[in-house]
A and B are shown apart, each in its own frame.
Chain A
Amino acid sequence: MPPDSSSSRRPWSRWNLLLLAPLLVLITPVYNIDKPRLLGFPFFYWLQFVCIPLSVVCVAIVYLKTGERR
C-alpha cells in the first residue's frame, strides 16, 4: 500500500514491513508435498498449521514495537 502522503503524526515504522512476512505462505510449491509427516499429517497440512503462530508472532512484534507513544 502507498505510504501515508499526509503529515502523519506518527512516523512510519519499518517494523510494519513484518506484516508482509505471512504472505510467504502463498508459495505453495514449497510445501505441496506429503512427506515428512507429523502425527500422520502430510507436510502440506502441518506446515500451514505451524504458519498460524508464526504469523501471530509477526503481528505481535509490530504491535509491541509500534505502540501508541502519545
Chain B
Amino acid sequence: MADLSNLLLLLVILLNFFALGSSRLAACIHAVALQGGILALLPLTAHGFSGHALLLAGGALALKAVLIPWLLLRAMRKVRIRREVEPLIGYVPTLLTGALATAAAFIFADLLPLVAAHQGGLFIPTSLATLLTGFLLLVSRRKALTQVVGYLILENGIFIFGILMADALPMMVEAGVLLDLLVAVFVMGIVIDQINREFSTLDTEQLSALKE
C-alpha cells in the first residue's frame, strides 16, 4: 500500500507541473479534477478500508473531483474564456519556480523534526510542494478562474497533510474543511460573474484601478 501511495503522490506532483505549464483553462481544471480524484484514493491507500477513510475518500471524490470542477467548467463556459492570455509571470519562469519550490519542499521536509513513521515518506514533501504550487498559481495569473484553480491546488496540499493525521482528526473537521471549500468556490463563482458583468473581462488587474 505504501508503494501505491507514493505512486499517487508522485502523480500529484506531476499534475502540479502540468497546471503550472498549461495555458488552457479547461486543461487546468481537468488537471485539478484528476488531482482531486487521486487525493480521494490516498486515505484508502494510507489507512486501509476503514469507515472513516471511506467517508473521507467519498467526500473528497464528490467535491474535489466532480462537483467543484463541474462548477468551474460551467463558469468557464458562461464567461466564455478559454485560456489565460497574459500571465503576470510567463509559463516557463513559473514552471522553473515551481520546480525550485518542489525541490525546496523536498529539502525542507527532510529537515523537519517529524514522527519516525512520517520521516522519509513522500506525504510531507508532496503536501508542501502542492501548497507552494497553488500559491504560485494564485499570485502569477491574472484571470480570476485560474486563481480559483490555484486556490484549489493550495487546498489539495492541505488535504494531503491532513490525510497523515486522519486517525487523530475528527470527521467533523474534515467535513467542515470540505464544506468551506465548496462555499468558497460558490462565492468565487458569484464574484467571477460579478467581475465579468462589471468590466466584461475576468482580468483582476482591473480591480486595482481606482474609479470615480
Whether chains A and B associate is: no
